[in-house]
Amino acid sequence: MSGMMSGEKMLEAGRMVGKYEIIRPLGAGGEGSVYLAKDTALFRLAAVKQMEAGTEILQEAVFLRDLRHPMLPMVYDLLYENGCYLVMEYIEGVSLHNYIRKRGSVGEEQGSIWAEALLSLLEYLHNRKPPVIYRDLKPDNIIVCPDKRLRLVDLGAAFLKNYGEGARTRMALTPGYGAPEQQAAAGRTVYADERSDIYAFGKVLYYMLTGAEPGRPPYGSLPVSVYDPLAGDDLERVIKKCTRENPDERYQIVEDIRRDLSGRKQGKKVC
């Protein structure tokens, strides 16, 4: 399995981690490898994330336990047993990335439904005290469930917003989806706030409607209408406003995006 962290050993099928029996690997990322497991006490499936001791995600695992939203997996447990393991609800389905790759894109109607779902989640995260910034919204972290509802997984990059936060040199970033302010550059402070998630949302919406990877020019920079001539100009304007280079020129809060998307249905012009 690719993507394993330095020093991390792959867990074999049948191994017990607490009361969880490992079944098979699900994937790997920068913060650790994830396995499908069976809860031998409650007889339910779970996702067990193996993490390296001392990593940033361990410091944030406690706050993740308090998040409650229909689109988020529940955190079941945090174990320290010959390693560190975060145990979460197992979400069945296929990543939005693979879903779109198979189908090419989704229509404007389905795209609007899924956009509203994602905005509902971001609004929930951003309105917490202090706000939670997801920081790595992308199609690979979004699951399309069998009933066509969306769920969000891999909360490893999520972070409590720190007002007056100092400069960082490293941050979760996916090319094509990560906002410019999350990228290190000479003389620039690296940071992420609500507007960074809004930028990524705009890129995800673009990908859903076009099937074009935003990080692969020129296809990822062409207007939505090139791929879907029936798509409304207002929807294009929403995406452009979400993804402006300067954070001050984007939507500042999720509620404003929801207002404009709702206004489209009522025939109101998006500015």
Name the DSSP class of 160: E
Any idea which residue has 């076009």 for tokens? 210
The tokens of 196 are what? 């960074």
**Dist. CA 20–CA 242, nearest whole Å:** 42
The candidate with the shortest Cα–Cα distance to 10, out of 83, 88, 91, is: 83
> Would you say 75 and 86 are in contact if contact means Cβ atoms under 8 Å apart?
yes
Any idea which residue has 């709702």 for tokens? 262
Terminal CA-CA length for the chain: 47
Residues 6+ apart with CB under 8 A from 187: none
> Would you say 213 and 219 are in contact if contact means Cβ atoms under 8 Å apart?
yes
The candidate with the shortest Cα–Cα distance to 203, out of 78, 128, 118, is: 118
The candidate with the shortest Cα–Cα distance to 11, out of 26, 22, 3, is: 22
List the catalytic residue out of 66, 77, 136, 228: 136
> Would you say 101 and 87 are in contact if contact means Cβ atoms under 8 Å apart?
no
Residue 47 sits at φ, ψ, to 5 deg, of -105, 120
Quick check: helix, strand or coil at residue 96?
Answer: helix
Distances (CA, A) of 161 to 72, 100, 193, 255, 271: 19, 31, 7, 18, 29
Is 136 annotated in the active site? yes
**Dist. CA 32–CA 86, nearest whole Å:** 10
Active site residues: 136
